[in-house]
Amino acid sequence: MSRKAEIADLDTGELTLARPRATLVEVAADKLRELILLEKLPAGAQISERDLASALGISRTPLTRALTILEQDGLIEYSVTRRPQVANPPFEEIAQNLVVMGALEALAGELACTRITDAEIARVAGYQQQMEAGEGTLSPLESFQLDMQMHEAIVAASGNAPLIDTHRKYNARLWRARFQSSQRRAGRDQTLAEHRAIIAALSQRDPVATAIALRRHLASAVTNIRNVFQDAGTARSPNPDTETPA
């Protein structure tokens, strides 16, 4: 059953520009993504736009536009009465989307191997190095952001605009699921080893090995999410409970 978000309990912090030249709508959308990832707006929660706008210190107009962005990303759903709530997709839907994501990233890896520069490889490796160096000190959200930046850098190196755009849309839809996957302690060493395998194959500019490594990594994400659901004993998306990189 859907429930109203506990808006009064939200610790939203300062609503600052998290990215250069971001509009208030973009900042609000980023903040909402963070609140959803950290379960301060839990899956299935109904949202009072008035209360949430007050908690964020903004008017309802930019909030409504931010919610529309998150609806397009698949993080927010609207009832027949246009009442927003946090999306709560079943495991099967998430798993199917992750299969597509695996294919997209594998293709991106193959294409990247034909054109990636040493500087781009160093950037990809740098994100992984920051994750490993910051283990135990980075917040779950900081570690996850580095993880996603690594994947996005590989896709960007493909140089294929339609692929980059499609990946962005699927990644937005899977943002919360990938964060949940990243929070499981079980398989932490395997996850980091998979990252290193991806980077090693990419450094060799081996398209086959890179595609295999990326597919294997996304398949592990499916397993992690299945375990999250099984641990929670639910067919719907549960709350994450422990910290690890994805």
Q: What is the mean pLDDT of residues 170-190?
A: 83
Per-residue confidence (pLDDT) for residue 10, from 0 to 100: 59
User: What is residue 117's predicted lDDT score, i.e. its pLDDT?
Assistant: 98
Domain ranges of the chain: 3-86, 91-232
Place of tokens 């490993």: 132
Q: Evaluate if residue 8 carries a pLDDT over 50.
A: no
For residue range 110-129, list pLDDT tens digits in order: 999 999 999 999 999 999 99
pLDDT at residue 109 above 80?
yes
The reported pLDDT for the residue numbered 19 is 56
Q: List the one residue out of 170, 180, 104 whose CA is nearest residue 147.
A: 180
78 DSSP β-pair partners: 84
Say yes or no to pLDDT of 6 above 90. no
The whole-number pLDDT of residue 20 equals 56
pLDDT in tens, 13-66: 544 445 556 799 999 999 999 999 988 999 999 999 999 999 999 999 999 999
Q: What is the CB neighbour count within 10 angstroms for residue 238?
A: 20
Location of structure tokens 């908690």: 55
On the question of pLDDT at 178 being above 60, the answer is yes
CB 246 within 8 A of CB 221: yes
Q: What is the pLDDT of residue 245?
A: 41
Mean pLDDT of 197-209: 98
The confidence band for 236, taking pLDDT boundaries of 50, 70 and 90, is low
Burial group, residue 206, by CB count within 10 angstroms (0-12, 13-18, 19+): middle
Domain spanning 3-86, CATH class? mainly alpha
Q: Distance between CA atoms of 176 and 180, rounded to whole angstroms?
A: 6
Q: May I ask the CATH class of domain 91-232?
A: mainly alpha
What is the H or E stretch that residue 72 is in? Answer: helix 60-73
Region 10-15: mean pLDDT is 52
Distance, CA of 174 to CA of 197 (rounded, Å)? 23
Neighbours of 181 (CB within 10 A): 29
